[in-house]
């Protein structure tokens, strides 16, 4: 490996990958540093052997080529309304254009042609029903990659970049960002190696967010605290959601609770999918997948309550970890409860689960009582949201519906960035979820394109 580059990219997730894709055709030497493993080597020992988490460093579920999104459901949301805050940095018109541009790139590397959400007449009907239930539907077109196909696409991108001369250093952790005379000049790896670059792009993902915050503080960069989303994953028969999922695939509804006016939203709807465990550095949380090549009889989705904290509290991630930790403490991991049991004020047990109509897809979840885990106002908001959703999808609020907890979405503190996502330190750019500006595959990918395009213009000027 060389020691000098035109561009150094920290993080091999979608933000870093798309920055490299944007730069590779007209830029000199590019280095991508990724502390995790290659896709083929990324696996979780505890999942395959059903043993407790052994806290691998780094965790292969969230680290490695493709980032945490490599094992996600692989949804590309073709709308500027969801997935991040990029509309605060560029205009809605530019964001629309970037969505089309990035979507075309995904298609080029193997994304399926089918797009959900184009039936305007049916969507209008759903919107009208939602209004009557105090719900707001955010219409959004979705291209679903699917767990499995997402891996294939990311591997194809890596092969393309390496053929074009991009150096990819797997298993290399960036320890320190180097600044000289007020400008970014390079990086120092954990092994002590130093690499210099004309431009540095930092995209460490959510797993690297704490490192990013620490580096920001060390370098004097200003940050804004983002909210934390805490809730449950709902699982029910696929037929209940079919009128919605057949049209829009992922229905994005927003509701404000009657009791506290807390914001509740649906997230990551997985038609005919399965509920899965996520291991975040030893903290066990829940998520959902829809696979590209296999289907179940259930649909699942998250209901998340968003909370913005005010002074003096500045640690929403710690708060989220604390709540999820209660579920781990009481259930040894993820807790599952029938909605009817929750409404009746009793815990679920194996016998009660067997009486239900929904067969859990997450077999290792422990039957229990989520009211002992979730804060009262979160639990109340979720139950109100389920009542509201009953109006547009009868059967959602059934006693047989399963609730898994806890699902937590940690959003990094947001750095103070320019319209081209440059930090207050010249030549240092921050992208993706780790910078706190995006919340998903599409906008993370777009953030990489924005920065790649800006650096390309500067290098070629």
SS3 letters across the chain? CCCEEEEEEECCCHHHHHHHHHHCCCCCCEEEEECCCCHHHCCCHHHHHCCCCCCCCCCCCCCCCCCHHHHCCCEEECCCCCCECHHHCCCHHHHHHHHHHHHHHHHHCCCCCCCECCCHHHHHHHHHHHHHCCEEECCCCEEECCECHHHHHHHHHHHHHHHCCCEEEECCCEEEEEEECCEEEEEEECCCCEEEEEEEEECCCHHHHHHHHHHHHHCCCCEECCCEEEEEEEEEEHHHHHHHHHHHCCCCEEEECCCCCCEEEEEEEECCCEEEEEEECCEEEEEEECECCCCCCEEEEEEEEEECCCCCCCCHHHHHHHHHHHHHHHHCCCEEEEHHHHHCCCCCCHHHHHHCCCCCCCCCCEECCHHHCCCHHHHHHHHHHHHHHHHHCCCCCCCCCEEEEEEEECCCCEECCCCCCECCCCCEEECCHHHCCECCHHHHHHHHHHHHHHHHHHHHC
What residues are paired with 33 via a beta bridge?
10, 169
Report the first-to-last Cα separation within the chain, whole angstroms: 27
Edge-to-edge strands, sheet with 263-270: 135-137, 253-256, 263-270, 298-307, 228-237, 402-409, 335-338, 366-367
**pTM to 2 decimals?**
0.87
Residues 73 and 77: their CA atoms lie apart, in Å, by: 12
Residues 6+ apart with CB under 8 A from 178: 184, 185, 186, 187, 188, 194, 196
Q: Which CATH class is domain 4-115+145-224+413-460?
A: alpha beta
pLDDT number for residue 51: 61
Q: For the chain, where do the domains classified as CATH 3.50.50.60 start and end?
A: 4-115+145-224+413-460
Profile the chain (461 residues) by mean pLDDT over runs of 10 residues.
90 97 90 94 71 73 88 88 91 96 97 91 92 93 88 96 96 96 96 96 88 92 84 98 91 94 94 89 86 89 87 76 93 96 97 95 95 96 97 97 92 86 98 89 97 94 78
Q: How many CB atoms lie within 10 A of CB 237?
A: 17
Residue 152: is it exposed, middle or buried by C-beta count within 10 angstroms (0-12/13-18/19+)?
middle
Separation of alpha carbons 186 and 172, rounded Å: 14
Judge whether 405 and 53 are in contact, CB under 8 Å: no
Burial class (CB in 10 A: 0-12, 13-18, 19+), 312: exposed
Task: Determine the pLDDT at residue 52.
Answer: 64
The torsion of the CA quartet 167, 171, 175, 179, rounded to 10 degrees, works out to 0
């Amino acid at each position: 490996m060389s020691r000098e580059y035109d561009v150094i990219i920290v993080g091999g997730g979608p933000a870093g990958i798309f920055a490299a894709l944007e730069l590779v055709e007209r830029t000199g030497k590019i280095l991508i540093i990724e502390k995790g493993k290659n896709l083929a080597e990324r696996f979780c020992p505890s999942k395959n052997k059903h043993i407790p988490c052994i806290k691998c460093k780094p965790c292969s579920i969230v680290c490695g080529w493709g980032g945490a999104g490599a094992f996600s459901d692989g949804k590309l949301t073709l709308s500027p309304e969801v997935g991040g805050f990029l509309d605060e940095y560029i205009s809605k018109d530019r964001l629309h254009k970037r969505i089309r541009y990035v979507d075309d790139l995904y298609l080029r590397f193997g994304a399926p042609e089918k797009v959900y959400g184009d039936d305007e007449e049916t969507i209008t009907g759903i919107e009208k029903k939602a209004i009557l239930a105090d719900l707001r539907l955010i219409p959004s077109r979705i291209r679903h990659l699917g767990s499995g196909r997402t891996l294939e696409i990311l591997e194809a991108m890596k092969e393309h970049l390496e053929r074009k001369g991009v150096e990819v250093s797997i298993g290399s952790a960036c320890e320190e960002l180097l600044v000289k005379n007020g400008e970014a000049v390079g990086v120092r790896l954990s092994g002590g190696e130093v690499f210099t670059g004309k431009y540095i792009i930092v995209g460490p993902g959510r797993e690297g967010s704490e490192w990013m915050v620490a580096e920001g503080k060390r370098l004097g960069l200003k940050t804004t605290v983002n909210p934390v989303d805490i809730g449950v994953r709902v699982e029910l028969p696929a037929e209940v959601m079919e009128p919605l999922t057949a049209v829009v695939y992922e229905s994005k509804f927003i509701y404000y609770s009657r009791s506290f006016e807390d914001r509740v939203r649906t997230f990551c709807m997985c038609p005919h999918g399965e509920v899965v465990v996520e291991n975040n550095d030893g903290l066990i949380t829940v998520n959902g997948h829809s696979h590209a090549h296999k289907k179940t009889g259930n649909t699942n989705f998250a209901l998340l309550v968003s909370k913005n904290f005010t002074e003096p509290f500045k640690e929403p991630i710690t708060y989220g970890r604390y709540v999820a930790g209660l579920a781990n403490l009481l259930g040894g991991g993820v807790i599952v409860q029938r909605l009817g049991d929750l409404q009746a004020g009793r815990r679920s047990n194996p016998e009660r689960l067997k009486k239900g109509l929904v067969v859990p897809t997450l077999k290792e979840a422990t039957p229990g009582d989520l009211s002992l885990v979730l804060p009262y106002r979160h639990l109340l908001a979720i139950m109100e949201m389920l009542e509201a959703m009953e109006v547009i999808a009868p059967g959602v609020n059934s006693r047989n519906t399963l609730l898994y907890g806890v699902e937590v979405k940690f959003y990094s503190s947001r750095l103070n960035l320019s319209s081209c996502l440059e930090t207050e330190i010249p030549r240092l750019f921050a992208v993706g979820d780790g910078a706190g500006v995006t919340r998903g595959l599409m906008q993370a990918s777009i953030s990489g394109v924005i920065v790649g395009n800006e650096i390309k213009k500067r290098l070629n000027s």
